[in-house]
Structure 1
Amino acid sequence: MEIRILGPVEPSVPPKPAQVLAVLAVECGKIVPVERLIDLIWGEEPPPQARKSLQVHISSLRRAGLPVEHRAAGYVLSAEPGSVDLHAFRKLVSRAGDEPDLRVKADLLGQALQLWRGTPVVFAQTLDVQRLAAAEAWVDAELALGRHAGLIDRLGTFVTEYPLAERLRGQLMTALARAGRRADAMRVFRETRKVLVDELGVEPGEQLQQLYRDVLEGSRDSRRNYLPRDAGDFTGRDRELGRLLDSDGGVWWIEGPAGVGKSALAVHAAHRLADRYPDGQLFVDLHSPSGALDALLRAMDVPSERIPESVEERAALWRARVSGRRVVIVLDGVTSVSQVRSLLPGSPGCLTLITSRSRLCGLEGVRRVPLDVLSSDEAVTLLQRILGDDRVSAEPDQAQEVARLCGYLPLAVRITGARLAGRAHWPVSKLVRRLSDERSRLDELVADDLAVRAGLELTYRALDENARRAYRIFGFLGLPEVPSFLWAHLLDEDVLDQLVDARLLDVIGSARYRMHELVRLHARELAEAEDQEQEREDVVRRAVVAALSTVDGLTEQLFLAVPRMQDSLGIVTSAARPTDKDAWFAREESLLTRLVERAAELGLAEIASQLAEVLVFAWFGLRNRYEAWERTHTAALEAVWKTGDVRLEAVLRCSLGQMHYKRDNLAQARSWFDTALTLFVDLGDKRGEAVAMNGIGMVCRDLGEYPCALEALGRARELLESQDLEGEAHALYGIGSVKRELGDDEGAFGTLRLAETVYRRARSRRGEALAARGIGLVHRARGELDLAEDHIRRAHEMVAGIGDELLGCYTAQAWAKVLLRKGSLDPAAELIQQALDGCRDVGDRFGEALVRRTLGEWRLAAGDHAGARVVLTDLLPVWNDLTLPLWRARTLRDLGAVHASLGDVEGADRSWREAAGLFTRLGTREREEVRQWPAQWAPPALSR
């Protein structure tokens, strides 16, 4: 039997029994207490005979054949939830939320909304909110599918029913604007404002006001248009463009030789299709899948700290981000299928345009668009659109010859046309004469396409000497883009404008320039042919100095095992600092990484190493940007090997050791630190030896090799004392943490308090917070919970003050454990979730595992023994993978407690026996507590 409550109740029964049926149907399959039924049906003042009346109504429902049963506590509707329209509605909405296919999503939501026939007799306000949310989601899907015209009437009805729903009104404005009814869209806004002011006394929200401004200005409904500027003189390609414009999404592979106009076609089509893909128009110049995914995720508003490290995780996040959206993506310059597999969105509502010189092979479900050169007429038409009708019509045969000499390649035609356009006094025949001399076109250049070389050479030779030099500088730098903080130290802006006019440079954003790959290669070859080696190297050196003058002013103190060791090389940090450091580095990271690599390629080992190290303290180390950290240091190290500079080699090895340490690759970290130590000792470099010892000590501590850790950290402290306050404090912190693990509480207190003092003298708030947390951990281990909370809370507040989100995860976790032991479960849960989210955001594997273990303890304390067992069991292979035996032992101890709480004596004994063996082998404080565990966990209590 179907039961309908989204409107008049069916089957039809008298009003009061209908209300009873509706309440029971909302809770279908669940017992509804009698008192709750009475409250819901009669309110706060039920009649004296309410219970008897309820029984009468229940009998009426049973006579109508409805399966209402009496239970000890109340009544239950014994029916399948799917037979009730409300539950069918909720199931359809839930399925729609998980559905990536926009068409299916819209269909599911449409079916759900059709179940509504009027106002429910109970819970009307609550259920109406659910209907409104479903309606808004359905409209979003329909708008994304481009069905705005058919939505307008239905949206008008919805707005009438929900006059205060701003989002619905915004959707109606969007539909009207897309249908070309801008005046009606603006009228809806004015009506909305009047309703909100009259009814609520408030103005429309910022989102609705921005939409009104967009409609008023006639702008497209798109917030993510990252496409390059469309060519206003785009010519030809009618058949290929028609195929793209008629497509319904999917993946298109545009292929052809260099300079044939693949990118121009893709960008032109993407601009034309922007209205059909309102959720974003994205453009990526392909170098690597990882870098491309990084750029795509940033374009979709993903913060840099939330972007995963691995290609697989980035690809998964990318697909999730565009799921259910309509986005057009241009992937430019692809060289192989493997580059793009991870970049393809899973949503069928997206369109991907790939440009490549390579022929398609091995990518399923892709449609090909092969491009060849323009026809003679199309090439002349392009030239005509650049120069104007008069000049071409005056010399039609000469225009045809220009097109022929350009090989009918769009890039060559565009470059030669730009030159002619900039010289109105030149007849077209003059350019023909210059192009006809093959020696001027071919002698100096070696590249795949002769016609492209001819056009580039001609344009280059027409520049004045300053512009030519600028051109060669751009080419030799080897950077995909050159922002103002670099070119301002190298070039005059007026000269750059000449290159822009000649179409040798493109302007991107504000004072940022990009040179096409083929043009850049040509310019680089010219630099190598025309400039002295010292001049070329000086260009790159000055670029690195320009980067250093900006980046060095953005460094922060870190409690790394490797403090900065490079000399300043006389760099003056005079450049203006970016106002938004995170946004600036997110934009410039790949460029700065490439600049280090370019300097290293040229043998500029010292300055490449300088920039690589500064980047660690300004960005890589703060945001766990391991890929760029490794790339820069590996490149610099290769250059250093060739110079034979042993100290620089040791410095870079130390930094790579720290990178692997932060990535929880302890064995690799130890190897890098050991080699660096050997080099520093051979050099007699005491400070370098101490830095390497600090790194080795921290690795040994984490591996549970405590004698080694104390020896290394003690030696580091001895060498650094009074010489390097921050390095000395870090050694002291490491020693104090080892003593804590070994149960030497007094020694731990003394060392950690001294570390706190030295960190304070070094003005390192991060280090001071780290030491305060460490002192709190000792108090916590001793059961001195109030003192522990005082220190850890103070550390947490200090960390919040300096904005270190990662360290804040560790202080939050430590505080949560104190609260757990004090029985404050709800505040502890909030801190645990905060820490877990933070560690996952930056890819901190150890931190995430540490917090997950605390979550297991929380579940144990909350009596969720089954949940605790799942969490703790899942952690055991993680500790093995990270090579952290102490944390495996602690997890096993807690898991034994879970088994004991569940009455699993064998499981508890097995877990405790392995934990006891590990604690004994490691010599930690827990080895003295083994005998207490059975008693301690009957009844359960929190572990240390």
Structure 2
Amino acid sequence: MKFAVLGQLLVSGPSGEPVTLRGHNLSTLLAVLLFHAGEPVPVDRLVDALWDGSPPSSYLSNLHTYLARLKKRLPDTEIDTIGRSYRLHAGPDELDLLRFHEHASAARKAMRGGDPATAAALFRQALALWRGRPLADLSVLSLEPVIVELTEKRMTLLEDLMDCELATGRHDTLVAELRGLVSEHPLRERLRIQLMTALHRAGRAAEALDVYRDARAVLVDELGIEPGAALRKAHTKLLRGSDPGATTPVESPTTAIVRPGQLPPRVADFHGRADELRVVGELVRTGQSTAPVVVISGEPGVGKSALAVLAAHTVRDAFPDGQLFAQLGGGSASPRDPADVLGEFLRALGMASSAIPDQLGDRAAALRTRLADRRVLVVLDDAAEPEQVRPLLPGTVGCATLVTSRSRLSGLAGVHPLPLAPMDQQDAVGLLATMLGAARVAAEPAAATRIVAACGGLPLALRVAGTRLALRSGSRLDALAERLEIEQERLDELAVSDLNVRASLESSYHSLTPLTTNAFGLLGLLGAVDVAEWVIGVLAGTADADKVVEELLEASLLQQVGTDATGEPRYRLHDLLRVYARERMEAETEADDLVAARDRLFTAYLGIADAASAGLQLMLAHPPADQAPDHGLPDRVVRRLIADPVAWFDAERLNLLALVRTARAAQPRDAVRLGHRLVQFLWMRGYWNEVHELQQAALDHARATADELAAAKAECLLATLEFTKGEHDGVEDTYVRNCTVFERFGDSVSLAYALGDYANLLATTGRLEEALACLQRAEGLVGDTMAKTTLASYVVVVLTLLGRFEQAAAVGARTLEQSRRFGAPRPLALLQLFLARLHLVGGRLAEARAASAEAERLLDDVGDQAEARCSVLRVRALAEAAVGNRAVARGLFQRGLTLAERLGIPALQAVAARDLAACRLGEGDLDWAVPTLRATAATFRATGDDDQLAIASRLLAVAGEDEAGRLDHVPGDVVEAAALRVLLELAAPATPAGETSRSGGKGLLV
């Protein structure tokens, strides 16, 4: 395909047919990629070009859509991905901009080689490509600097062309062309000199003097300035009768060509980083239309300098005019002055010391002049800030710059960022093996892995560890690993000779502002966890956490490790930085300030958890009796965080548990308070072990403080947990005993919860009338509330089990309407589940499928992944199987089994595995189905669950494997009787199409 940007944007196909791009955004995207053809263009630069710095929230999705459309419109053009960048491949024969640069470079080379005729021809070829202002039909703000530079380059080429033509003696024919150019560009003094030269050589000296007088008048009138030195000098020559265009044939001492080779030697035992080396190589080799700048950033000791030096050696062949190197000292107390570095560079490029300008700006201009039209690689190691780097950058195509810095150097425009992470375990162990010998590391692989973990994959730390081991060839790796695993001594161990991890970290730490220094130290309190930005703000005691986080990120002292379910970025300290942060905190933070920071953090978490737990709408756990403190954060922030309360708890679960455990010894009451808010979420997600831990701790605290009511609540919830997991022993006594406690204290809400849980136990053990009485009593205690709808849902189940189907349906319909009025997804989900069971029993299969599907959707809304979802998946699977959707049913049974295994509830696992075995039996997979049925039958026999045992036995009888499986053995539970009928149909061989149904929509009860 052919592309043209030197004028209106034009695209044509292989046969020359025009290709139309629909929409401004698609044209803009192509234009940016074309102006950087062959080079990776970062996503941020593309986004800035498309939306002028104000992208929509869905900008990444939109960008991917535009790229997909562009690729579809340009099928013969390769657009590939490099990290977070995109690159369009095009050569000079495809893109006029590249041909322009190619012809211009060749012309200048001919010009320097003393061949003005060839140079002039090449200049005219380059200029002939120009159809007008680049991208004349588009407005791309981010490309304006490039277009301005390109336009200036065209003017310089025109002037170079005129010099070449004058050198070939074409002064007579050039006069008219030069008059036109001067008229079009009256302020270009070089064109005036060239016109004066052409006129003088043509014997028209008087006209040449008129050109000067006209130039002076224009400059004075329009700009209020006198002509420049070059134009005045040409005028003086004319007055003396000399040629104004004559030059001195002796070359200036500032123009000698020198090819510097300043790269330091590569690290001899460098290991790994293959992907990073490849990316750096691709980025710096692709300077066809710009001078690429690659910034390798990362925390102290991550190996930035070693990577940059090796990468520079790897790409030397692409920079035949030399390589410049400077150590900028950004990590030291006195970073180098860029003016001094420029002086060194200019001397290395052959400029005499006496000719080097004094001012920084003049030196930077001199460097750009020396590097013009040359291919030189500049390596700047350990840069401090953008202001130190900017003057050192080449300005012309063909050169490239490789920068390393602890800072991201975000202020440098148009760079290719390459954040460098610590080594992964494989490369880190490989580095140790390179230093110590493969045999020594292979002899103690576990110890090598422990050393890598203690060093956090940081190359500097690994080099220290490797050096220490290399100096003691007889020492064992596990001895050093053991010492490194003592956090308080780790940084002391990681020092040898001039290699010192602590010293490397200190330079970055001391560059922070006081507020950020304090926040960094306090982050050491938290341990190896990731946190949201608001946590860092709370620790630091500031409402402006953004600035603190940005400074830590910029200094590579904080890592962003992803985004949590609420959309908040998550941050953490590298393990060695965390150890160092704790050192600084213990050394520099007053005890009172430390206590205050801990209190702020605990209070904030407790307040947010209180607000989030109120949105869970879970009616199983008893509510806390105390009032949570004010979280101390802006309400808008908290509203954003808990817009999805389940997502917030998902993101913060480990941190909340760590806070509870930390507070348990010194502040047991606060630990219980926070645990109360967390337990509802843990129940919903099925984290049974953690629920048990928190409730046992609450019970222990209640007994220690003689708080009988709190002890009763904790005991009841523990009993419900044991019952849910299939353990019945002692549960009934716990409910009965503590219901008496709730009555005595007048706590009607807790009594209602306990009665509801007790009723569930009674129903499970077949005492249905007692269960119904319990539920009806509980309903009278809670009034017209969401809790009442939950209790009414259980009434539907019990009425169904009693065979009172019409009454169950009436209660269900009434309760469904009440639940919708409260707008509570989880109670609604439970009710839909119970109604789905009722429909299944009555043979209303369409209604059963709809109700069970709606129940799962509602559980999705609240993120419930506990036992209720297992029940919903099972009823959905039974309903789908009953109408012949065998494959759908099999998938649902499998999902139910996977969830039951995660929850670790043996009874749920046995039911789910048994149901899936019925499917596998019908598919002929007896090798899996029969052993599974035998194992589940044994589980049901051990737990005394006769209904589930009856189903397993009947299925074994179908397989001809169990003589105890009598065909007349039907469960007493009407829902399980319905399930048996469906599972027997599933266990029958499937039709060739893979589906079978014999129920025909009739009632499922035999």
TM-score w.r.t. the length of structure 2 is: 0.46
Between structure 1 and structure 2, the one with the greater Rg is: 2
TM-score scaled by length of structure 1? 0.48
